[in-house]
Structure 1
């Protein structure tokens, strides 16, 4: 578990860097994240027969708010 803790600390430090924060809030990050999140949501909806479509869409929207500038 010590290795996992070290990786977690490094990831937290990386995500707290101002340059990384700026990159995650850029227009390019928004475009890329939208494509990735839409693709994942579509795949999950296809596999589940849209049984959980509202939950998938809600999770997609929540994740979208965390990345990009919109």
Structure 2
């Protein structure tokens, strides 16, 4: 086995744990992302609003994918850009 295979094997339990946490606390994570996005947007005086909104949505989609993988269903498709 190569280095990357060993690394993947060692990180598998952590990935499962993160997925479980995302499933249990997805709503709190989303609220935290929204709060962080608002704070950053205020501090940059709206200069990067479009990038902040885009990044926040991508982070929320990633949390949704992590949470849905542990439910046994298929994860939602990534959003069309």
- TM-score, normalised to structure 1's length? 0.65
From 25, 29, 38, give the equivalent of 2:25: 29
In structure 2, relative to structure 1, the CA distance for the partners of 1:54 and 1:23 (3 Å cut) is: same
1:48 aligns with 2:47: no
Rounded to whole Å, the distance in 2 between the matches of 1:56 and 1:20 is 24
Summarize deviations over 1:10-49 as a string: whole Å, max 9, x none: x83311x2x542332x2x4221111110011000000000
Where does structure 1 differ by over 6 angstroms across 4 or more consecutive aligned residues?
A: none
RMSD across aligned positions (CA): 2.8
Count, aligned residues? 59
2:57 and 2:18 map into 1 onto residues whose CA distance is 21
Q: Which runs of 5+ in 1 are unaligned?
A: 1-7
Tell me the secondary structure at the aligned position of residue 50 of structure 2. Answer: helix
